Amino acid sequence: MRRSALDSRDWVFDLDNTLYSAPALYDCIGKRMIAYIASALGVEPDQALQLRERYFHLYGATIAGLIRHHAIDAHDFLAHVHDVDCSVLAPDPELGALIAALPGRKIIFTNGGGGHGQRVLERLGFAAAFEVVFDIEAAGLAGKPQPESYRRLIAAHRIDPARAMLIEDAPRNLAPAHELGFATALVGAAALQPRPAYVHHWAMDVKMLLWDWLAG
């Protein structure tokens, strides 16, 4: 991407596995999900795990399936499962400086909830670089890749998709953004060859992506 193309753009970032990677934190959240589902539905942990995975793959977020099929209190679930110790994360001033250098608004777009996005950004040390955290609760419990989630983001923050970039680690979350007119960038080891039409840019990690854009 040429530097001239960076101007007047909204930069929409996924959070988990995009701006940081912390398997210990993910494992803790996953265990809390299993325990919550097992207790709320009166099932064994192995059944709770199956439901967690099934609903994630069907709806993009486990809570979407729990609401649809079991009338789970979404806000209680999200607050409980994300009540984890973020001290396993290390501040990342280099990434913070790269994000701050991008001209335009910066927005977090995440399927997390319960204040998770805000706590993670504070721990990473660059919360001030972002205008807002648009999480699954802000999206009315419609999670990516449900198209309604993207439409609600656009409406809530007056985003012009033609002047916006979505940066994600999950390919399936880029397809609806592409359909709506966003530019898209995939980060992570999955290079996807041949590259799908809905993936416009790719890099091994977000720092490489931003270094390349800012140096171009």
Q: First-to-last CA distance in the chain? A: 6
Instruction: Say how many residues make up the chain.
Output: 216
Residue 5 has a pLDDT of: 60
SS3 195: coil
Residue 201 has a pLDDT of: 94
Mention every residue, 6+ apart, whose C-beta is less than 8 A from residue 130: 13, 99, 106, 107, 108, 121
The domains of the chain are located at: 3-21+90-215, 24-81
Name 10's bridge partners: 164
Residue 172 has a pLDDT of: 94
Token pair in block for residue 19 = 């701006």
Residue 178 has a pLDDT of: 98
Helices (H), 82-189: 93-101, 116-124, 147-157, 171-180
Mention every residue, 6+ apart, whose C-beta is less than 8 A from residue 141: 63, 64, 67, 74
Distance between CA atoms of 168 and 19, rounded to whole angstroms?
9
Supply the pTM of this predicted model: 0.94
Residue type, 147: P
Evaluated on CA atoms 18, 167, 29, 119, the torsion sign reads: positive
**Does the domain made of 3-21+90-215 have the CATH classification 3.30.70.2190?**
no
**Does the domain made of 24-81 have the CATH classification 1.10.10.10?**
no
Domains 3-21+90-215 and 24-81 share a fold: no
Residues of the chain with pLDDT under 70: 1-8, 191
